[in-house]
Amino acid sequence: MIDLHSHLLWNVDDGPTTMEQTIKMLNRAVEEGISEIVATSHYQHPLYSVDFSEVHQKVSILQLELLKNNIPLTIHQGHEVRLSTNILSQYKQLSIHSLAGSDYMLIELPSNSVPYYTSHIIQELTFAGIIPIIAHPERNRAIYANPRLLEDLIRMGAFTQITAGSLAGNYGRKIQKFSLKLIEANLIHTYGSDAHNLTTRPFLFNEGLKVLEKRGLTDYVKLLLDNNRCVIKNKPLTVLEPVSVKKSKWLF
């Protein structure tokens, strides 16, 4: 299995503080059945912005450690890119890592809003051949209040990534219920742990998938995991037609 979203690199953002903690996280990822993982440190977040070269350097160090210790895991480079008006220019200047060197880029919206220029950025990126994947939309308060905002972005060319912990209930029952509704409305395309540590924000990778299976959504488990692999392989994703939020009271 492939994890598209994680904060593994030590002492760079709100992930682990030491390399020892990082190694423990990598071992736990293997226990979860993860065989490939993308290290998506924050970029242009209000509190953190990890340099392109530091991501490259630390991922290289970790991959050597994994090989030396026979840990069956491959780490890919990436960034979780905070929405801004200069993403494309920063990418062209080789300041931003896409997901595993693919055409897919993980984009983080502010927690409380979908800025007015979001649609412009989505269109600008897609026109340039960059495919935006919106990270954890289920935790965005504006989208929770009005899911049409997410549907509109998807119809403009964006994809989405749901967090394992959201499905597992780590962020509360409301977020868990909303996550399931988004999946049932075909508004979710990929899956990631967004793991930061082994305590407050652990992987919960299998727990999230088990919730889907218990809800009779086994087909979505396969779709999400297959799409994760397509991202790494830089291939098109499988997309189901969104259930129109405009014509449905599916949320409430």
Q: Is 145 within a domain?
A: yes
- pLDDT tens digit string along 99-141? 999 999 999 999 999 999 999 999 999 999 999 999 999 999 9
| Domain that residue 188 falls in | 2-247
Give the separation between CA 104 and CA 125, rounded to whole angstroms.
Answer: 10
- Count CA atoms closer than 13 A to 58's CA, side-chain side: 22
Q: Is 141 within a domain?
A: yes
| pLDDT bracket for residue 51 (50, 70, 90) | very high
Q: Interhelix angle for 173-184 vs 205-214, to 10°?
A: 60
Looking at this protein, which amino acid is placed at residue 65? E
Q: Is 231 within a domain?
A: yes
| pLDDT bracket for residue 69 (50, 70, 90) | confident
Residue 249 has pLDDT above 60, yes or no: no
Q: Is 62 within a domain?
A: yes
Which one, of 145, 160, 125, lies nearest residue 240 by Cα? Answer: 160
CATH code assigned at 169:
3.20.20.140
Number of domains in the chain: 1
Q: Is 50 within a domain?
A: yes
Give the separation between CA 118 and CA 191, rounded to whole angstroms.
Answer: 22
Q: Is 252 within a domain?
A: no
Which one, of 197, 192, 203, 195, lies nearest residue 18 by Cα? Answer: 197
- pLDDT tens digit string along 159-189? 999 999 999 999 999 999 999 999 999 999 9
Q: Is 135 within a domain?
A: yes
Answer yes or no: are the C-beta atoms of 55 and 80 closer than 8 Å.
no
Q: Is 44 within a domain?
A: yes
42 Cβ partners below 8 Å, 6+ apart? 7, 13, 14, 48, 49, 50, 79, 80, 82, 108
